[in-house]
Structure 1
Amino acid sequence: MDGPLPRWGLSSTIKAPLQEILGFAAWHLDRGAHRLYIYLDDPESDAFDILKAHPRIRVKRCNTVWWRNHGGKRPEKHQVRQTINATHAYARKAEVDWLIHMDVDEFLWPETTIAETLAKLPPDIMTVRVRPSEALAGTGKSYKAFIPTSPDRQGIIERLYPTFGLHLRGGFVSHTAGKVFVRTGLEGIKIRIHNAFRGQEMNPGETETDHIALLHCHARDWDDWLAHYRYRLQFGSYRSDLGALRPPEKGGMNLHDLFRWLEAEEGENGLRLFYDEVLSDAAGLPDRLRAEGLLRRHELDITGTIRKHFPEMP
C-alpha cells in the first residue's frame, strides 16, 4: 500500500481497578492505537482524570446524565451497555480508519504491527475478525491457541481435556468468537460484542486474520478465577441462557449447568478439578497443548508500558 498506514483505534466499556485500566490503555497505545474511546462504567472511577489528560484517549463517565442522553436509563445488563457505547464510538466523527471493540482483559498481539496488517487488506474488506488465545492461569505467559474448524477439532479438544472436553466450545472457557475490526465510515453500523451489523447483514465484507491474536486473560490464578466466578455464573460468560455444545439428550451441558452440577456433587473441590484440567498452567495442560501444537508463549510487560505512557503514575 502506498501512502500513510491506516489509523486504528478501539472502544471499551470498563469497570476495573485503576492499574488494570491503565495497563489495558498503555498496552494498546504502545501497539500503535491512534485513539482509545474508553467508557467508564463506574462514573466515579479514579482513572478519569489520568485518561483524559492523554492526547490519544477520549474518555466518558457513564453516569446518570450519560444514560439519560443515550436511551433514558442505564441498561441493567452490562452487555447492552457495552454495545450502546461501542456503537456510539463508531458513530463519532471518524478519527481512525478502523475501530475494534474490546474488553479490559483482552490484549492485541500482532506479528508485525496492526497498522501494517490492516494496510494489506483490499478495499472491499469491511470487517476483520481476530481470534482469541486464552491465557492459562498461573505465570501469565502461557496461552492456548484458537483451534480452527476441522474434522478432528472435537477430538483434539477431548484429548486436551479428557474429563470436561465434551462441554467446552473450542476448548475455551471464555469466547472463541474473538472480536472484529470495522472499517469506519459505513452507514447504519451497529456494534455488538463479537460482531457488527448493517441492518440484517452481519459483518459485511468480512475476512479473518491470523496475523493478530487477541490475548484473553480470563483468569490470573485460582483465587482470581474464583473471585469472578459468581458474577460470571449469573451475568457473564457462564450464565444460564448460553447454549450448550450439544443437546441435553446427548449429554450436553452449558458451563452454567456444568458448574452447578460440580458444586452440588463436589463443592469447591469440583470447581478446582475443572480449573486444574482446563485453566491451570501447573497441572499438565501446557504439555498437552504443546503436543497438539497449540501452546503459545507471550510475555506482556504491562508495568513497563504503564510507566512509558503514564509517567506521572508512581
Structure 2
Amino acid sequence: MLTETPSWAVVATVDEPPALLQAFVAWHLSLGAAQVFLYFDGPTAAGTVDFTHLPQVTVVACDAAHWDRFGKPRPHRHEIRQVRNAQDAYQRTAADWILHCDADEYLRAAMPVADVLAGVEAETECFILGVAERVHPMGKIGAELFDGAFRRPFQGPAKRGTAVFGADFKMTNRGLAGHAQGKAFVRTGRDLNMSIHRPRQPKSAQEVVSTRATNEVLELLHFEGLTPHHWFYKLSRMIRALNDHDGMPPSDHRRRQAEALMAAPDMAESLYHRLKSVDAPTIKSLVERGLWDDRAFDPAPVVTRYFAGQVADASPQAIDGWVEVNKTHVTGYLHK
C-alpha cells in the first residue's frame, strides 16, 4: 500500500453550457484536483468561459492544429475523440491518477479523494467508481439545476427489475437512463490506454489490475439530462450521429430511447418523466435495496468561490436557452 498522498486530475471532452463547465471545474478543484483538462469539442467555444485565473485548468481547443498533433484527421466518432483526448491528458498530466468523465458527472466523496487513492494497493492501476444518476422524486423538477435525488444501478435479473421499475425498465441500463458501468481513476505512468469507462493495456493479453470503490466512500453523480429540453437535445444528437453513421452502435436501452423519441418527438418531455421521475413505491423499493440517495448536491458555493464576479447563469431556463442556440443542426433528424 502506498503511504504518500497522491495527486489526481480530471479530464473531459466538452460541448456544454458555460454554467455546467464552471460547476464541473469548481467542484473538482474544491475536492482537491491538481489539474482539470477541458478539451472543447467545438473549438470556437473554448473562450466562452474564462479559466485564465485558474492555473490548475488546461483548456484545449480541438481545432485542426490539435488533431494534427495526433498525425490523423479529426475522428468522426465522438467516442474516439473523447478517448484520444483522454489519452493526451493521461500523457501530459503530472498527477498520479486521472479520472476520465463527462462534464455532467461529479465526484461525491465522504473523505478527501487523495486519502482514498492513498489506500489503493500499489499494483492496482484502475480504481472503479460506481455511478448514481439524478432523478426527480414524484416527478417534481426543482427550481435549481442540480436539484433532485439519486438512484444507483439495480442488482439482479431483468425480470425482477421490471417488477420494480415497470415496463420502462427495458429503456434503462439496470434502472438508469444513462450508463451503469461507472467511470475509473487510472494510475498514470503505467503505459495504459485510456477509454470511456475503463483503461486497457497496450497488449490485449494483459489485464489491468483494478479494484472498486464503495458507494459510501467515493461515487460519481451523473446529471444525465440537466433539464428535459437538455436531455432531448442530447438524445437528438445521438440520433443524428446514428443517422450519419457517426457514432458507436448504441446499447439496447439507448436504442429503445431513441426509437421512442423518433416515434413521438412531441412527447419528449413525457418520455423524460417516464425515465427520470420516481414515484413513492419505487423510492421505497430502492431504499430497501440501498439504491436510493436523497442527499442534496449543490456546487453553487464553490462556483462562487472560483468564479467570483463572473458566475454564469445556472438556471434551468438558461440551460434551455443554450440548447435553443445549439440544437438547430440536430432536431431535423427526428422527422426523417
- TM score, norm. by length of structure 2: 0.79
**Does residue 184 of structure 1 match 2:188?**
yes
Question: Residue 230 of structure 1 aligns with which residue?
Answer: 236
Question: Residue 18 of structure 2 aligns with which residue?
Answer: 18
> Partners of 2:269 and 2:280 in 1: how far apart?
11
**Does residue 174 of structure 1 match 2:178?**
yes
Give the 3 Å change call, closer, same or farther, for CA 35–287 of structure 1 in structure 2: same
**Does residue 307 of structure 1 match 2:314?**
no
Question: Residue 104 of structure 1 aligns with which residue?
Answer: 103
Bigger drift between 39-48 and 29-38 goes to 39-48
Deviations 1:87-108 (A, max 9, x none): 011112x411111101000001
Gaps of 5+ in 2: 312-336
Alpha-carbon offset, residue 290 of structure 1: 2.9
Q: Is the 8 A contact 2:171 2:256 kept in 1?
A: no
Q: 1:215 aligns with which of 207, 210, 221?
A: 221
Bigger drift between 42-51 and 109-118 goes to 42-51
Give the 3 Å change call, closer, same or farther, for CA 282–7 of structure 1 in structure 2: same
**Does residue 164 of structure 1 match 2:168?**
yes
The within-5 A match list for 1:40-59 is 40-45=40-45, 47=47, 50-59=50-59
Alpha-carbon offset, residue 293 of structure 1: 3.2
Gaps of 5+ in 1: 245-253
Question: Residue 251 of structure 1 aligns with which residue?
Answer: none
Give the 3 Å change call, closer, same or farther, for CA 304–217 of structure 1 in structure 2: same
Give the 3 Å change call, closer, same or farther, for CA 63–258 of structure 1 in structure 2: closer
Q: Is the 8 A contact 2:193 2:201 kept in 1?
A: yes
Question: Residue 249 of structure 2 aligns with which residue?
Answer: 241
Give the 3 Å change call, closer, same or farther, for CA 241–88 of structure 1 in structure 2: same
Q: Is the 8 A contact 2:40 2:46 kept in 1?
A: no
> Partners of 1:15 and 1:273 in 2: how far apart?
25
Question: Residue 117 of structure 2 aligns with which residue?
Answer: 118
Alpha-carbon offset, residue 288 of structure 1: 4.3
Q: 1:144 aligns with which of 141, 147, 151?
A: 151
Give the 3 Å change call, closer, same or farther, for CA 310–283 of structure 1 in structure 2: same
Alpha-carbon offset, residue 275 of structure 1: 3.0
> Partners of 1:243 and 1:202 in 2: how far apart?
26
Question: Residue 315 of structure 2 aligns with which residue?
Answer: none
Question: Residue 210 of structure 2 aligns with which residue?
Answer: 206
Question: Residue 87 of structure 2 aligns with which residue?
Answer: 87
> Partners of 1:203 and 1:61 in 2: how far apart?
33
Give the 3 Å change call, closer, same or farther, for CA 297–231 of structure 1 in structure 2: same
Deviations 1:44-68 (A, max 9, x none): 2254672233121122111111112
Q: Is the 8 A contact 1:125 1:205 kept in 2?
A: yes
The alignment of Structure 1 onto Structure 2 pairs a total of residues equal to 296
> Partners of 1:272 and 1:55 in 2: how far apart?
40
> Partners of 1:144 and 1:49 in 2: how far apart?
31
- TM score, norm. by length of structure 1: 0.84
Identical aligned pairs, as a percentage?
A: 23
Deviations 1:68-119 (A, max 9, x none): 2223322122111111110011112x41111110100000101212111111
Q: Which amino acid aligns with 1:195?
A: R
**Does residue 196 of structure 1 match 2:199?**
yes
Alpha-carbon offset, residue 142 of structure 1: 0.4
Q: Which amino acid aligns with 2:307?
A: F
SS of the residue corresponding to residue 45 of structure 1 reads helix
Deviations 1:11-49 (A, max 9, x none): 111111211111100010011101111111222225467
Give the 3 Å change call, closer, same or farther, for CA 2–87 of structure 1 in structure 2: closer
Give the 3 Å change call, closer, same or farther, for CA 30–240 of structure 1 in structure 2: closer
> Partners of 2:2 and 2:199 in 1: how far apart?
28
> Partners of 2:208 and 2:248 in 1: how far apart?
30
Q: Is the 8 A contact 1:161 1:277 kept in 2?
A: no
